[in-house]
Every structure is written in C-alpha cells, then in structure tokens.
Amino acid sequence: MNSTLFTGPVFQMARDQLTVIADHLGIAEDQRDWLLYPKRAVVVTCPVRMEDNRTQVFIGYRVQHHLALGPAKGGTRFAPNVDISEIAALAIWMSWKCALADLPFGGGKGGVAVDPRALKPKELENLSRRYMQEMIPFVGPRTDVMAPDMGTNEQVMAWFMDTYSMYQGVTVPEIVTGKPVGSGGTLGRREATGRGVAYLAGRVMKELSIDLNNATAVIQGFGNVGSYAALGLHQFGLKVIAVSDHTGALYDATGLDIPALMRHAGEHGSIAGFSSQLQFDPAQILTLPCDVLVPAAMERVIDAHVADNLKCRVLAEGANGPTTPDADLVLDKRRDEVFLIPDILCNSGGVVVSYFEWVQDLQQLFWEEEEVTRREYHILDRAFDQMVLRSRADKVSHRTAAMAIGVEKVRAAKTTRGLFP
C-alpha cells in the first residue's frame, strides 16, 4: 500500500528500516503494511488565546501505532516542523523500543507544530491544556499514555494531567508520565533517558577495555537527554570535550564543566553565553575524534557522509532516528571501528522509567530512586544482551538485531490475538 498521508523523509526512514527487518525475518509482503501503518492517527486544531488577545491556531497530532500489547506509550513533541508523518515514524520506533524492553505497551507519539520558545508562559500553558482537552476522546490510562519529548517538559505534563483530571472529576496521574515528582511523577524519570545512555556507553567502553578516566565524549543537543547523558559520562570520569545545542557549540580539550553548564542551561534555556572562549563550529561536532559520541537532538543528522567521517569508538544514539538508512550501510562496514548502540535500545531508559511511573501511579505505591535506577539498568542490560547475542547469531548489525527482536514481538502479539473480526 502507498499512503498519501504518511510520506516525508522520517516516515520513509521508518519504512525502509522495517523493510530491512522484514527481509531479514522473511515476513510476507501482505503482513508488512499491517506492521507498518498506525492503528490510529488523530489531527486536532488547537485555537489559543495569545497574550495580545489574538487567537492563534496550532495543529496537533497523536498517533497510536498498535495496541496489541497494552496502551500506546510515547512522548509529545512541540517543534515547528512536526507533521503527521514524522509523528507516525516516531510512534513506530516506540513500538519496537517498548517490545525490545518487554514493556506492556504499543508505540505512540504526539506533537504540536509550534516553536515553544516563541510562546509566553501563559500561551504555552493554554496550548498544552487545549491540546490535551482535544485528545481526551482518544487517550486514557489504558489506551494511550503520553510523556515528554523535544520541546515539552515536566510542567507541560503537569498541565496535561491536570486538564485530563478536571474532565474526569478525579485526579488521574497515570494519564501521563514524566510529571513532576510532587504531582505523581517518579524519582529518576527526569534523569532516566540520559542516565541510561551513559550507563550503556559505560558498559560498552568497559567491554572494549577503554579506560573511562582517559576517555572523551561529545554530545549533540543539551536538553533533557543530552545534559543528563553528559552528566552521567562526566560522573564516570570521562572528559566531555564538546557540547552543542540550537544556539551553537562549545569545545574544551580539557573537559567542559558539565554541572556548571547544566546550571547555566537551566537558568538561560540554552548553552549560549556560557563562555566566549570555548565557542566552536557546531557543524563539526559529530566528526570530532572522541571515544563516545551521543547525538541527542534530532533525526537524520548522521547521513552516509557523516558516517564515513565519524571518529568515535562508541556511537550512543540518545536521539530518536539520528542515523539514516544510508549511513547504516556505511556503519555496517565500519562495525569493528564504531560500536553502535541503536536508539531503540540506547534511549529506552526514558520509556522504561515511564513504565515504572505508570505502575506506581496505578498502585499508588512509590519507590525509592535507587530501586528505580536499579530496575532501569536491569532492563537495559537484558535488552543489550539479547541484542548482542542476536547480532552475533544472525551476523547482522546491532540496529537490525534490536529492531528484529522488537518487530518479532509485536508481530507475535498481533498474530496470536488474530484479526478482528
């Protein structure tokens, strides 16, 4: 089937990846569309009263890829170029990610086409609340559970939760994850994705006999994922020599002061203004020589050309979809030089701890942070072991192995339940 709705380069990338996996697993043609296309995709209009009293309309999306294993689960992205195809691709990746980690969820994703940095605080609140209000007929703790993604944060999740709860007449914390701890969130969720990235990169470095105290890291993106990945690596003893965000890049061969940079970014919203001496060309950040490279910003930043020029030993994909299928072909040939930790494993600490948050909210029984982190690492280790075993057994890349495990689990769940009617 060729859909005119789901087009665009990010969706094409998700489709191409599934084709590679389906060929590898020998999945029949007629089953591929069933696996690829989302169960539901919703588009809503969100009219918002702006501070100057104008009404501005924003378009919002939510995609539920499948519900065969449980509710859809996935973040909400506020970014200017968001469209239904990109959201669908991100929902598809969430499906493989949740299945790889053995979570009882299907993949979901949502978004609003908006630059949140251009909104005043009250406008952002109005938009967040209206978006959730429009979504009420489609979401629920057993149907679709939202979380933060690019451009959204704990505060936005608190507004989502409050709006949903107001309509139900009772507090429903389990409707979203990534909430503030004081509003039913879990300890360790804010740090979970970046912490998981650092944990897996650290594990790989130890297996490759790289001395952590003499190792270097480079991070693209300094939001939730990038900053906590940088902090985790910094705490392991690595020198984080370069960091970038949408405003520019910083480089320091002796290692950036990551806790100070996090405080600065927390106060000012970006790394801009941290230092005038350490400025660096952001276009060169991905090809800097380093032990660990963490792309933690956007999709499709590593194309075939960049892949050819990577000078890292470990590529730890914090962002979703940072590497194009063309780049994967290059990385396949460079398997002995660059150890790939693919996105659906590398950044899965976020959804793993979101799962813990949902469970704690449903049970109204909250865990210590130590328990959250221990269980997160346990799931990451289990998925990592499965991926490496599968990659060796099938002689395929880590990405193909990880996705094959995820796709197989989703396919098994759909097939066992059967087609309705």
Q: Is 109 marked active-site?
A: yes
Residue with smallest beta-carbon separation from ligand NAD: 223
Q: Which is nearer to ligand NAD, 244 or 400 (CB)?
A: 244
Cα-based torsion angle of the residue sequence 341, 347, 353, 359 in order, rounded to the nearest 10 degrees: -90
Decide whether 163 or 193 has the Cβ nearer to ligand NAD.
Answer: 193
Buried b (16+ CB within 10 A) or exposed e, 31-53: ebeebbbbebbbebebebeeeee
Give the other-Cβ count within 10 Å of 99's Cβ: 28
CA distance 334 to 304: 12
Span near ligand NAD by CB under 6 A; candidates 145-153, 160-168, 390-398, 407-415: 145-153
Q: CB 421 → ligand NAD: shortest distance, Å?
A: 36
**244 near ligand NAD, judged by CB under 6 A:** yes
Which of these, 14, 157, 197, lies nearest to 95 by C-alpha position? 14
Joined tokens for residue 228: 């906590």
Catalytic entry in 97, 109, 409, 414: 109
Largest CA distance in the chain: 66
Stretch that binds ligand NAD, among 166-174, 243-251, 303-311, 404-412 (CB under 6 A): 243-251
Whether 177 contacts 357, CB under 8 Å:
yes
Check: CB of residue 295 under 8 Å from CB of residue 318. Answer: yes
- 347: contact with ligand NAD by CB under 6 A: yes
- Comparing CB distances to ligand NAD, the nearer of 27 and 156 is 156
Question: Should residue 191 be labelled a site residue for ligand NAD when binding is judged by CB under 6 A?
Answer: no
Sites for ligand NAD among residues 281-340 (CB under 6 A):
282, 296-298, 318-320
Residue 28: CB partners within 8 Å, gap ≥ 6?
none
Region near ligand NAD per CB under 6 A, out of 6-14, 131-139, 244-252, 375-383: 244-252
Q: Is 222 in the site for ligand NAD (CB under 6 A)?
A: yes
Asked if residue 250 binds ligand NAD (CB under 6 A), the reply is: no
Interacting residue ranges for ligand NAD, rule: CB under 6 A: 148-151, 193, 220-226, 244-246, 270, 282, 296-298, 318-320, 347, 350
